[in-house]
Amino acid sequence: MNKNLTALILAGGKAQRMGGLDKGQQLYKGRPLVEHVLGVTKSLVDSVVISTNQNFDFYSALADDVIEDVDPWISIGPLAGLYALVHEYTDLRGHVLLLPCDTPCISKEALMALISSTESNESKVSCLKTESGWQPLHAVIPVEKLQIHLPEYLEHAQHYGVMGFYHHLGCLPINWSNQTELLNINRLDEL
C-alpha cells in the first residue's frame, strides 16, 4: 500500500506483568499474539522487522528480519527498538509503522488511517489517539527524523517515554473511535 514503509513490531519487553514470559509467543484465540498483529500488517508494508531480545528463531520465521537492542540503549523500552532499527538499517528510507506485539485486535483500517496520514503530513509522527488518550505504540514515524533526532534525544532524555520523543518531533493525532481494537494484553488472565 505504501512506498518505503517498514513495520517495526516490538516484542522485546520484559513482560513483568506476565511473569517474564515472552509476550509475543503467548496464545490468544489459538495463535501467538504477534501473529495477530502480523496478519493485519504484512500486506500494508514493504517489510516487517521484529524487535526482540529473546527467541530469535521463533521471530525469524515470521518476519523479514529480527533485531535486538544495541549499546548503549539496551532495555530502555520502545525507543531502544527504534534506535536498533536505524542503527542496523542506515540506508532505511520513508516511514516506520511502529506496533506492539500485544494488541491482537488492531484492525487493518486503523493501520490504514495511520499510513494514509503520511500523504499530507510526511514530516511529523502520526499516532493513534482514542478517547482514553494517545496510543504511542501505534504510530508512523518519518525515518529521516528518527535518524537525525533519536540519538541526540536519547543522550539528553530525562526518561525514555515514547510520547516525549514524539512531541519533540511534532506529533499529529489520528483519532480512532474503536477503543476495543487497542486492547493491550499484559497479563496471562487477559489471554
Query: Is position 10 annotated in a ligand binding site?
Result: yes
R_g of the chain computed on alpha carbons: 15
Query: Is position 133 annotated in a ligand binding site?
Result: no
**What is residue 8's predicted lDDT score, i.e. its pLDDT?**
98
Instruction: Assess contact for 81 and 12: CB atoms under 8 A.
Output: yes
DSSP state of 176: -
pLDDT of 18 strictly over 80: no
**What is residue 1's predicted lDDT score, i.e. its pLDDT?**
40
**What is residue 2's predicted lDDT score, i.e. its pLDDT?**
46
Instruction: Assess contact for 103 and 183: CB atoms under 8 A.
Output: yes
Query: Is position 7 annotated in a ligand binding site?
Result: no
**What is residue 104's predicted lDDT score, i.e. its pLDDT?**
94
CB neighbours of residue 92 within 10 Å: 18
Instruction: Assess contact for 104 and 186: CB atoms under 8 A.
Output: no
Return mean pLDDT, the chain.
Answer: 90
pLDDT band per the 50, 70, 90 thresholds, residue 33: very high
Least reliable range by pLDDT among 62-66, 72-76, 91-95, 119-123? 119-123
- Identify the structural domains of the chain with CATH numbers, from first to last: 5-190 (3.90.550.10)
Instruction: Assess contact for 148 and 86: CB atoms under 8 A.
Output: no
Rounded to whole angstroms, the Cα distance separating 11 from 27 reads 14
**What is residue 145's predicted lDDT score, i.e. its pLDDT?**
94
DSSP state of 185: -
150's grid cell:
533519536
Mean pLDDT confidence for 45-57:
94
**What is residue 13's predicted lDDT score, i.e. its pLDDT?**
63
The set of residues, in sequence order, having a beta carbon less than 8 Å from that of 176 and lying 6+ positions away, is: 110, 113, 128, 129, 130, 135, 182
Query: Is position 12 annotated in a ligand binding site?
Result: yes
CB neighbours of residue 120 within 10 Å: 8
Query: Is position 11 annotated in a ligand binding site?
Result: yes
